[in-house]
Amino acid sequence: MTTNPIDLKSALDGFDAPWSPRIIAYLNDYDIRLARFHGEHVWHVHLETDEFFLVLDGEIAIGLREEDGERTVTLPRGSVFVVPRGTFHKPSSEHGAAVLLVEPTGTLSVGDAHDEVPEHVDVTTGHPVP
């Protein structure tokens, strides 16, 4: 990883694949990832970690399966949301979005348990940005 400033727009311009996060920096034992969202991800859960979302552009929805049932939170540009560990969730974006994610290094993009993964979702721990 670089020790120089990272321009988020340039990093986002470097890829267009949705659901294929890029690691732009490391913070202690955490990855700072950029991802493009478009369409639907997959229902999944991270058993040991929370997941942080910051919407840089566009709008996303996150379906949540909670004790009281299912609900959806909508995050417009500039919004932050944390999915608590152990909560099944399904991100989506109807028109596309750019999102910054913070997760422990090595966290799989489809969590520890998930529904069948569609072809358009990259099962990865993130791809380093050159």
- pLDDT tens track for 73-109: 999 999 999 999 999 999 999 999 999 999 999 999 9
Give the predicted TM-score (pTM) of the model: 0.94
Q: Got the DSSP string for 57-108? A: EEEEEEEEEETTEEEEEEEETT-EEEEPTT-EEEEEEEEEEEEEEEEETT--
Length of the chain: 130
Give the C-alpha separation, 6 to 125, whole Å: 20
pLDDT tens digits, one per residue of 9-43: 999 999 999 999 999 999 999 999 999 999 999 99
Rg (CA), the chain: 14
What is the dihedral angle through the alpha carbons of 3, 25, 98, 129, rounded to the nearest 10 degrees?
80
Give the C-alpha separation, 114 to 117, whole Å: 7
